[in-house]
Amino acid sequence: MTITLNNRIETFSPQEMSITQIMDEKSFHFKMLIVKLNGTLIPRESWPLTVVRDGDRLDIIHLVSGG
Amino acid sequence: MTIIQNITSHLSVKKAGIAGAGGLGSNVAAALVRSGVGHLVIADYDIVTKPNLNRQFFFADQEGQSKVDALRENLLHINPKADVEAHFCKITALNAGSLFGSCDVVIEAFDCADEKKWFAEWMIAHYPAKPLIMGSGIAGYGSPETLRVQRSGNLYICGDQRETNEKLVPLLAPRVIMVAMMQADLALELLLQEKPL
């Protein structure tokens, strides 16, 4: 499947993946993340069960302390 | 009207919300007032201390004052006609709507990552159409080219988004202010979107 991940086109070999699988593959291992799939906020507890498909837009935002 | 007068007059009727008046919020506020944004709502529950002065828009004689009152005073020195609402309070689910509901754009300028996350989720849930400009990853110095903006619908994230050890990598004026200026510049972009030049 080909998706838009953080505004970049990325291709993964499986046809579908969970958000957690994509995070593992792309090494997103931070504590404080905001995840949006096709513009909808996805809470942490739903990441393992939420399926990402070809053409989807996934945004993974890392929030770091300091302001 | 000159182009700058046209921009200033367009911005004079706009309202920006700033959540937090530390390194990001205080500097964003100054840039927006200088640009001509007419109405600001600023909320913070902290007071000015000496270590703040290495990056925040406060002065040594303001130590001990609430950040929102000190900032309001400094902003009025730039433009005495600016309408600056200063709220000395913690932002919670109970007051966030009344503080920021009427703003054209909201700047997130908190310190802690968990507060940033709470606020982003609250704003997305309650005001999905309102632009929210966040800061994430502003510590240290050097490699300014790593600073960037991530756009995700109405959510904008300025900074390098890199985790650092706070004890080893301090917050310093140039990088903090650069990210604040990225937030302020994006705010102008959004506020001037429908403006015919």
Inter-axis angle of helices B67-78 and B23-35, to 10 degrees? 20
Residue-by-residue DSSP string for B31-92: HHHHHT--EEEEEE--B--GGGGGTSS--GGGTTSBHHHHHHHHHHHH-TT-EEEEEES---
B-chain residues near A36 (CB < 8 A)? 124, 152-153, 155
Low-confidence residues in chain A, pLDDT < 70: none
Contact assignment for B114 to A34 by CB distance below 8 Å: no
Of A6, A32, A59, which has the smallest distance from its Cβ to B117's Cβ? Answer: A32
Tens digit of each residue's pLDDT (9 = 90 or more) over B87-133:
999 999 999 999 999 999 999 999 999 999 999 999 999 999 999 99
pLDDT at B180: 98
Tens digit of each residue's pLDDT (9 = 90 or more) over B131-166:
999 999 999 999 999 999 999 999 999 999 999 988
Q: By CB neighbour count within 10 A (0-12 exposed, 13-18 middle, 19+ buried), where does B50 fall?
A: exposed
CB-defined contacts A:B, below 8 A: 80
* Superfamily of segment(s) A2-62: Beta-grasp domain (3.10.20.30)
Yes or no: say if B30 and B118 are a contact pair by the CB < 8 Å rule: no
Residue ranges and CATH numbers for the domains of chain B are 3-191 (3.40.50.720)
Tens digit of each residue's pLDDT (9 = 90 or more) over A40-58:
999 999 999 999 999 999 9
Helices (H) and strands (E) in chain A, counts: 1, 7
Tens digit of each residue's pLDDT (9 = 90 or more) over B42-90:
999 999 999 999 999 999 999 999 999 999 999 999 999 999 999 999 9
Of B22, B112, B157, which has the smallest distance from its Cβ to A61's Cβ? Answer: B157
Tens digit of each residue's pLDDT (9 = 90 or more) over B128-137:
999 999 999 9
A-chain residues near B151 (CB < 8 A)? 7
Contact assignment for A6 to B150 by CB distance below 8 Å: yes
Where are the domains positioned within chain A?
2-62
Query: Is residue B159 helix, strand or coil?
Result: strand
Of A41, A64, A67, which has the smallest distance from its Cβ to B161's Cβ? Answer: A64
Is residue B194 pLDDT above 80, yes or no? no
